[in-house]
Amino acid sequence: MSIIAMKFGGTSVGSPERIINAASKAVREAERGHQVVVTVSAMSGETDRLLKLADAIDPAGSPRERDMLAVAGEQASIALMAMACEKLGRPAVSYNAAQINMRTDAAFTKAKILSIDDTKIRKAFDEGRIVVIAGFQGVTGEGEITTLGRGGSDTTAVALAAALKADRCDIYTDVDGVYAADPRIVPNAKKIPALSYEEMLEMASSGAKVLHTRSVQFAAKYNVPLQVLSSFEDKPGTMITEEVQAMEDVVVSAITHNTKEAKVTLIGTSDVPGTAAKLFSYLAEKNINVDMIVQNVGENGLADISFTVEKTDLPYIQKNEQALMSSINAKRVVYGTKIAKISAVGVGMKAHSGVASRMFNALAAKGVNILMISTSEIKISCVIHEDYTELAVRALCDEFGLASE
């Protein structure tokens, strides 16, 4: 029997009516003869509400306790979703991460999935049930509760699809597919009918929050066909698969933005071998992911190093700034919290040159100053002041023909 994995995000389960609407889609797949595993997020706003409570007590508080708190949102929605399926006439059962041994490492607030025990799920399938799983959460070998990072329910869904060898993983959300830019910023951005894992991965990792980055990595690794589609309209979404016939003339497929990072600059560090190694080993040990790095040319034996991290990691860095500075003899540290990273993504870049200069010129024409630059084979990213985010995204959509007239 074929298996379909489905995932409903926060807005899609934001009220009892919406939960029933989502359940009806799961029931429809079951009635078509599929075995159905449904991953659900917390009701919209709920995870934010819980984490705000934690911040009100201590923004740099224990990551273990933050996770213990944050999983409560999904705990509620799985039960409601299973009840809704049953109300619609289909037997269902909900499980949280511990119950299916959704094993992760112990990196609280950003844990990685290691394995899943599918015994209970398969048994429930044999009993004809729809299986509802709590997204975003995991459990360590020691029984500690973890979360996969904000937006992590996508990753739960794809990991389940991979473990169960599902035919497809449908990600139901509040947009009807993946667009060339966030439709909240560029309402006339073009919809992308099909994308390769490679492009979607660059889009997700550079800020397109429509999919959690690790969900795309899982999908690519285990070759799970992904579809992003609307919970509210019955129409085809965006398919994300291995091979997509690239259109020759499409140089840039999408513009993304990310305002969730902060810049840390360490001034006057020793310009000697091993400085960067020490600094970034220190951060890696603390599970702090660094995105962009810029080091200036050293003068008088001193150099400055800037890097960007998730804003959520800043309280920890600030709390430990003395240790960080003394590890590399930095004189001062400066923080930039009002930054945005704007990226142009497209496999077409492999075959076309001049994309970077077009991007920089389009930003310059709007008076946008570039603070940092990084590139990969299919992506160019610029860090700018946060206030120019919308202006920059719109200008780049115009430059690369990604918005309809």
Q: Which residues lie near ligand ASP (CB under 6 A)?
A: 9-10, 41-42, 47, 73, 135-136, 150-153
Instruction: Name the binder of 42 from ligand ADP, ligand ASP, Mg ion, none, CB < 5-8 A by kind.
Output: ligand ASP
- Nearest distance in Å: CB 71, ligand ASP: 9
> Which residues here bind Mg ion, judged by CB under 5 A?
9, 151
Question: Which residue, 41 or 253, has its beta carbon nearer to ligand ASP?
Answer: 41
- Nearest distance in Å: CB 267, Mg ion: 37
Instruction: Name the binder of 137 from ligand ASP, Mg ion, ligand ADP, none, CB < 5-8 A by kind.
Output: none
Do 102 and 156 form a contact (C-beta atoms < 8 A)?
yes
Note the Cα 93 to chain centre separation in Å. Answer: 27
Q: In whole angstroms, how far apart are CA 247 and each of 1, 153, 303, 344, 348?
A: 36, 32, 44, 16, 8
Instruction: Name the binder of 73 from ligand ASP, ligand ADP, Mg ion, none, CB < 5-8 A by kind.
Output: ligand ASP
The secondary structure of residue 100, as a DSSP letter, is: G
- Nearest distance in Å: CB 256, ligand ADP: 6
d(CA 100, CA 133): 9
Question: Which residue, 175 or 403, has its beta carbon nearer to ligand ADP?
Answer: 175
Residues within window 27-46 making contact with ligand ADP, judged by CB under 6 A: 41
Give 272's contacts (C-beta < 8 A, 6+ positions apart): 301
Ranked by CB distance to ligand ADP, the top (closest) residue is: 9
SS3 19: helix
Instruction: Name the binder of 219 from ligand ADP, Mg ion, ligand ASP, none, CB < 5-8 A by kind.
Output: none
Identify the CA nearest to 70 among candidates 141, 12, 7, 150: 150
- Nearest distance in Å: CB 32, ligand ADP: 23
Please report whether residue 136 would count as binding ligand ADP according to CB under 6 A.
no
The secondary structure of residue 179, as a DSSP letter, is: E
Please report whether residue 11 would count as binding ligand ADP according to CB under 6 A.
yes
Quick one: angle between helices 72-87 and 16-31, nearest 10? Answer: 60
The end-to-end CA distance of the chain, in Å, is 46
Do 47 and 150 form a contact (C-beta atoms < 8 A)?
yes
Residues within window 242-271 making contact with ligand ADP, judged by CB under 6 A: 254
Tokens 């992760």 belong to: 104
Question: Which residue, 47 or 389, has its beta carbon nearer to ligand ASP?
Answer: 47
- Nearest distance in Å: CB 151, Mg ion: 4
Question: Which residue, 228 or 339, has its beta carbon nearer to ligand ADP?
Answer: 228
- Nearest distance in Å: CB 9, Mg ion: 5
| Sign of the Cα pseudo-torsion (215, 221, 222, 223, in order) | positive
Instruction: Name the binder of 175 from ligand ADP, ligand ASP, Mg ion, none, CB < 5-8 A by kind.
Output: ligand ADP
Question: Which residue, 158 or 330, has its beta carbon nearer to ligand ADP?
Answer: 158
Strands 3-8 and 35-40: parallel
Question: Which residue, 209 or 352, has its beta carbon nearer to Mg ion?
Answer: 209
Question: Which residue, 10 or 177, has its beta carbon nearer to ligand ASP?
Answer: 10
Q: In whole angstroms, how far apart are CA 306 and each of 261, 312, 360?
A: 13, 17, 21
Instruction: Name the binder of 135 from Mg ion, ligand ADP, ligand ASP, none, CB < 5-8 A by kind.
Output: ligand ASP
Question: Which residue, 305 or 348, has its beta carbon nearer to ligand ADP?
Answer: 348
Binding letters toward ligand ADP, positions 64-103, x by CB under 6 A? ----------------------------------------
- Nearest distance in Å: CB 15, ligand ASP: 16
Question: Which residue, 205 or 275, has its beta carbon nearer to Mg ion?
Answer: 205
Per-residue b or e along 307-335, where b marks 16 or more CB atoms closer than 10 Å to that residue's CB: bbbbebbbebbeeebeebbebbebeebee
Phi and psi angles of residue 60, each rounded to the nearest 5 degrees, phi first: -105, 25
Edge to edge, the sheet with strand 145-147 lists 113-115, 103-104, 137-139, 145-147
Residues within window 155-194 making contact with ligand ADP, judged by CB under 6 A: 173-175, 178-179, 181-184
The most distant pair of C-alpha atoms in the chain lies apart, rounded to whole Å, by 75
Q: Which residues form the interface with ligand ADP (CB under 6 A)?
A: 9-12, 41, 151, 173-175, 178-179, 181-184, 208-210, 254
